[in-house]
Amino acid sequence: MKNLLIIIFVLFIKLSAAQNPAERVVIYMPVRHLSGSELLHLEYNTQTTCMVQVQEVPNAQAMDSIPAHSPQKIHTKSAFAQRWSTTFGTTNHYDLIYDLLEEYDFGYYMVGYDVISNTNAKGWNIKTNINGSLLYDKQLISPQVKIGYAVCQDNIGNKYIAGVDFTDVNTPFVVKLNACGEKVWCSLLKHWDFLWGSPIDILINGDGNIVVLARFEDGDEQINQIYLLCYNPDGELLWAKPYASKTEHPLISFAYGTKLYHFGEDYIISGYCYYPYPDNPNHVWLRPLFIGIDSLFNEKWMLPFGVADSIVGEAYSAMPLNDSVIMGVGSKFRDYSNGNIRNSLLMFFNHEGEKLGYTRIWGDSIISGTVDNTMVEIESINDSLFLATVVIGPLETGNPFGEVVFDTSGHVYCAQSRPNTRGMSDMIKTFDGKYVIACAVNENDMDHTDIFLYKINANLEQDTLYTQNFVYDSLCPNPIESGDIDMTNCTLVQVSIDEAPTPEEYYKSLDAIPVKAYPNPADEFIKLDYKHTEHHQNIKLICYDITGQTLHTEDIVTGQHGSKINVSGWGSGLYMAVVTSGGRIVGKTKFIVK
């Protein structure tokens, strides 16, 4: 993004001392999707290239301090006559949204940042009503800069936000906020064998666990870079696993995920990577990337899209067309003298990872005079029409955002450009079949930015306001006020990625019910703690003495986490507690009675 400070980490191949540094080719990798493509090289030689990561953080030129946080410091405005668009921001700040969701009360919740300089920035969470008017906002307060990148919500109003702590080596965090916006827990995940880590997307799976799509930089070899991290609702890291690993796919380089989806039984990651033509494995090209993952989080397939068709480009998002076909959207480069000019690209594949075809959308077929264009976010209108946010304009790079309505043949029915917008685009389809979009918009100086939130219908017209009253945040007993979220007390999880359980190990562990006894030795009562009972039926507890005589039996309810047993009448000695599920022993422990 223009005028944002770029923190650079050198990540790839250490060239020998004899090599001339001036001959190195430097590749810049953007974080998520930018409106321009100035930082992204389309090809490189793996034997002579140094890869560099860029991270969007505050501008270093403005060194003033951020004003005291209060709603009065935020300027907002609504658009013309009963149709709404809203901006949020503080003048001469860099304000930007990373992710957006529709809440249970039909308001909107956004996570992003408010920035003056690289040392003076805060994560910024904003809640609006159904018409985009501010209800409250929260800033993430910590000695270190912490910024939320992605947000999801469970069915009882808890929000889970994944973001980055910019301290030394950038560290991913996940924070849980209750229905009142209060911090329940915060977990920092520091992998000492990685130089840089960032979450990109987040969702809640069918088990109620939080799954985070993340990217890590693992040094020169860049073997594993795309990861899924799974947390339980209490913030415990359950497992971590790499995907599109160079161990299984030796030709892949610098894989990056942009979105994580749950389609039917499968999880799908969209993104991009560098991948060669088969005849020259040392010379790689930018490719759209899709990864298929089954319900137990095993990698089913990895698809660098369009290698045989000479497609050079990226995939940003995807959606299912039916039970078997998925459509991804993104961009195709390289057919102009300036290779960084893009055309929007529709990519079709199935749940087996087989490429079914693609459709390229030329600029003039959208709006006459269009040069650079690329689809970013996609939603359905009906079974045959779709709406996408798109970077679109007459320039080679740096064009504003807009929207297009199209079908799977690539025919564009209508298009709209939003002048002065830039940065990233996030879109959701609302409960009433409309579309809410968030991106950045230039301030008058064409340097600083505000957050631009607007709602449109399928004709790309700004939507009308709701005039009836809505009750907001009803799951919280008291009104939520603007303020700060203290992020200083986050639990630091320091673990090597190789030490974290894999999904296979985690799901295998669910077959057992670990049992813990305390106090041990006991005199009057013994307490038993259980894990994983929610995954079992017909559970029984049996306590034996050393002769095998049964002293206690008890039915354990699915989901029960403990028992308390009176042992005051038992003789002193050693005892065994055994837990069975369906008649099979799944857990046991020994304890002593004084």
161-191 pLDDT, tens per residue? 999 988 777 889 999 999 999 999 999 887 7
The total number of structural domains that make up the chain = 1
* Kind plus residue range of the DSSP H or E element containing 393: strand 386-393
Is 399 within a domain?
Answer: no
Maximum Cα–Cα distance for the chain, whole Å?
Answer: 91
Question: What residues contact residue 370 under an 8 Å CB cut-off, 6+ apart?
Answer: 363, 364, 392, 393, 394
Q: In this structure, are residues 184 and 159 in contact, taking their beta carbons and an 8 Å threshold?
A: no
83 touches 125 (CB < 8 A): no
- pLDDT value at position 169? 73
Neighbours of 478 (CB within 10 A): 7
Yes or no: say if 175 and 160 are a contact pair by the CB < 8 Å rule. yes
pTM of the predicted protein model: 0.83
Closest CA to 412 of 392, 434, 433: 392
Query: Using CA atoms, how far apart are residues 135 and 517, in angstroms rounded to an integer?
Result: 48
What residue type is 30 in one-letter code? Answer: P
Q: Give the count of alpha carbons within 13 A of 154, CB side only.
A: 19
Residues of the chain with pLDDT under 50: 1-25, 28-38, 53-81
Identify the residue whose tokens are 């939080």.
210
> Residue 568 in 3-state DSSP?
coil
Residue 566 structural domain: 512-593
- Judge whether 523 lies within some domain: yes
pLDDT value of position 495: 63
Q: 500 lies in a domain?
A: no
Q: Determine the Cα–Cα distance for residues 449 and 94; give it in Å rounded to an integer.
A: 5
Amino acid letter, 123: G
In a domain, 452, yes or no: no
Alpha-carbon span 290 to 319, nearest angstrom: 12
Cβ atoms of residues 440 and 422 within 8 Å: yes
Residue 187 lies in a domain: no
Note whether residue 538 is domain-resident: yes
DSSP for 63-110, please give it.
-PPPPPP-GGG----B-STTB-EEEE--TTSEEEEEEEEE-TTS-EEE
User: Does residue 303 fall inside a structural domain?
Assistant: no
Question: Which residues have CB under 8 Å from 297's CB, separation 6+?
Answer: 228, 230, 239, 241, 267, 503
In a domain, 540, yes or no: yes
Q: What is the CATH number of the domain that holds 546?
A: 2.60.40.10
Q: Are strands 134-141 and 483-486 parallel, antiparallel or unpaired?
A: parallel
